[in-house]
Amino acid sequence: MNFFCQVLDLNLRQRNMKRRSFFKTAGALTTALSANISAFAKISFPDASDIKIVLRGGKSFYKNKWQVLDIGIDNNGKLKIGQPDSLQGDQTIDVTNKIVSPGFIDILADNAANPQKTYKIFEKYKVTDGVTTALQMHGGSGNTASYYATFNPLPHFINFGVSTAVMLVRYAISNLAERRKRVEKCLEEGALGVSHSIEYQPTPYEETLEYAKLAKKYERTFFLHLRYSSREKELEGVDEAIRIAKDSGARVHIDHLHSTGGTFHMTEALDKLEAANGKGLQMTCCVYPYSFWATYLHSKRFDEGWQKRYGLTYNDLRLVGTGERLTAESFARYRGMKKLAAVPEGTLPLASTVDLALKRDFCMIGSDGGIEYEPHANSHPRGAGCFSTAIRHGLDIGMPLEKVLDKIVTLPRSLILPAMKERGIIKDGSWADLTVFDSTKVNAKATVENPNQFSDGIEMVTVNGKIAYRNGKPETAGGVGIRY
């Protein structure tokens, strides 16, 4: 082979070797790149198009500690939780130095008089106090299916729900067996519990026990307004509630213990409940953070002898909505009109009632109120300001904020499980019922003279992922009925 042919052959062999080396190297790079792309594809990144709102810079009590987080709300109204500056959404709202909490839950909301006419007013004053779910567990409805069929199609600021109101059932039906059937039917239709007020509608023990047994059968809570509110007999009412829990096996919740059951003997009442829980019973109670109660003048509380029973006079009573002091004449007139009157501040001394109760882990906040009319409702100011008052009072007496939030979210939620399983909690996938507030400013403005006032410090409320309240303006957000 001549020199030229030898050189050509050498060049061809070198080029073939380079080509094989190139394809070998390229193949390896392609394989590695494909593997990396595959691994990259498996990494989960927040999809900005799926998150409509990001709350940025606020503090939340998350996984048992205060943290600054990104709180995302997706297009389905569910939560996505991220580290600071990690989420991207259609809208970012700066909530720096604010508290982002699960929405407040009012288990003892009250809108019984004419709910179809008044429910939007009632809900408006709840949402402006940070409430995202108002449940009427001190009363409610005697026909669960009809109630939800009526209210589900209507627009709502917040979530709503009812217990079986034994008082209404007893008004409508005289036969005990038929009463029991109606209560059970309500539970089958999704009622959140069973409620009865045996001070306002005295009922034999054995009949009351039957209703508690139904609550146990359906694993719902039995909400009880105690039988007595006098100094001499209030602890007998506590003993009766404990007996009901023991004989029925039901969870028993005592409504507003400080105004019925613990006004004069709170320490003894709480000790009785704690001892009962220590024996395996399930007893809870609630209070509202006010030093005075109010109720309807035509109720049993104002039957003959009320002055001696409570140490009050006609002039001590104030007509709620105006503050007018009553006389014997106006008392009789307003009683005929079924008006609500408030007793003097200090009748329920906070230090010896509410403050003692809040130290126990089985006691929570419940408003026992609601605003039903405008511009000036004949309603206790707790109907508009209970929860902001509770936060302010809790902080003022040295309670850690997370403990206060337990009293207005976690404990109320626990009584309505599993119906509230995906509410009242900050976690991925739970419903975006949130309250944003300024813990340095939060406080109620509602008064006996004018209960129709929005609370201070409540910055924003979301319900099912929609903004229900912001910048002092309520917005219809699509609240839904809560039921079993």
Q: Which residues pair with 222 in a beta bridge?
A: 194, 252
CA pair distance 399, 116, nearest whole angstrom = 39
Structural domain count, the chain: 3
- Look up the pTM and report it: 0.89
Residues 138 and 217 in one domain: yes
Residue 307: partners with Cβ closer than 8 Å, 6 or more residues away: 313, 314
In tens, the pLDDT along 46-74 reads 455 599 999 999 999 999 999 999 999 99
In tens, the pLDDT along 79-105 reads 999 999 999 999 999 999 999 999 999
Residues 57 and 132 in one domain: no
Residues 357 and 410 in one domain: yes
Confidence of residue 113 (pLDDT cuts 50, 70, 90): confident
Residues 449 and 365 in one domain: yes
Q: Which of 77, 97, 117 is the last residue of a domain?
A: 97
Asked, for residue 259, whether it belongs to a domain, the answer is yes
Residues 53 and 118 in one domain: no
CA pair distance 132, 445, nearest whole angstrom = 19
Q: Are 446 and 439 in contact (CB under 8 A)?
A: no
Residues 140 and 165 in one domain: yes
Confidence of residue 42 (pLDDT cuts 50, 70, 90): very low
Asked, for residue 362, whether it belongs to a domain, the answer is yes
Pick the more confident residue, 40 or 57: 57
Residues 179 and 264 in one domain: yes
Residues 375 and 439 in one domain: yes
Residues 175 and 70 in one domain: no
Residues 33 and 53 in one domain: no
Domain, as residue range, for 13:
1-43
Asked, for residue 334, whether it belongs to a domain, the answer is no
Residues 55 and 76 in one domain: yes
In tens, the pLDDT along 117-175 reads 999 999 999 999 999 999 999 999 999 999 999 999 999 999 999 999 999 999 999 99
Residues 420 and 443 in one domain: yes
